[in-house]
Amino acid sequence: MTEDRSTLLTFFKALADESRLKIVGLLAQRERSVDELADALDLKAPTVSHHLKRLRDAGLVSMRPDGTTHWYTLDTASLQAASKRILTREQVASIADDVDASAEERKVLRTFFEGKTLVSLPRGRKREIVLRFLAERFASGRDYSQEQVNEILAEHHDDVAALRRWLVDHGLMERDHRTYRRPAD
């Protein structure tokens, strides 16, 4: 897991608790001690201390000792910096990097194929999944005549011209006149 992704997960986990969200809200108003927070939230001091540790670990709260009392405040500068650094579309999207994309692909293929037959021509992302599946019917780096391509595609659907065109348009096949080739992986 990347450091930014770990930071992003720590950030979201720190805020994924109602009590911690309330603590953040109270600290956004003004600096408070553990006892003040415990009284305001009707929680025990050790519970509040636990929540404050999670918030400190995420860089959302800072602490200032004053004798035997620890004063906590929302670290707005850190919150804003984290927002700019880790709450980008790309960073949030990275949380799903390890989601099994093949599960989605299997579902799409089950939806659009009955056996070997492509029952309808999908659009958008689903079309890309179907085209990748069809492209795998061709050996990588081998030349195919248009007739050979048509024969392989006809096993799956009657509109071989559309399938051929889409395979080329999506970069899954290369065409040189009437010769087709699946690019090397």
Read off the pLDDT of residues 117-171 as tens digits, 9 standing for 90 and up. 999 988 988 999 999 999 999 998 899 999 999 999 999 999 999 999 999 999 9
Domain with residue 59: its CATH number is 1.10.10.10
pLDDT at 31 over 90: yes
Q: How far is CA 140 from CA 4, 158, 176, in A?
A: 37, 24, 16
49 and 35 in a common domain: yes
Q: How far is CA 173 from CA 88, 102, 122, in A?
A: 34, 21, 18
Q: Structurally, how many domains does the chain consist of? A: 2
Query: How far, in Å, CA of 97 to CA of 69, rounded?
Result: 43
Domain hosting residue 35, numbered range = 3-96
What pLDDT, on the 0 to 100 scale, is given for residue 94? 67
71 and 109 in a common domain: no
* φ, ψ at 165 (rounded to 5°): -60, -45
Q: Among 25, 3, 6, which residue's Cα sits nearest to residue 15?
A: 25
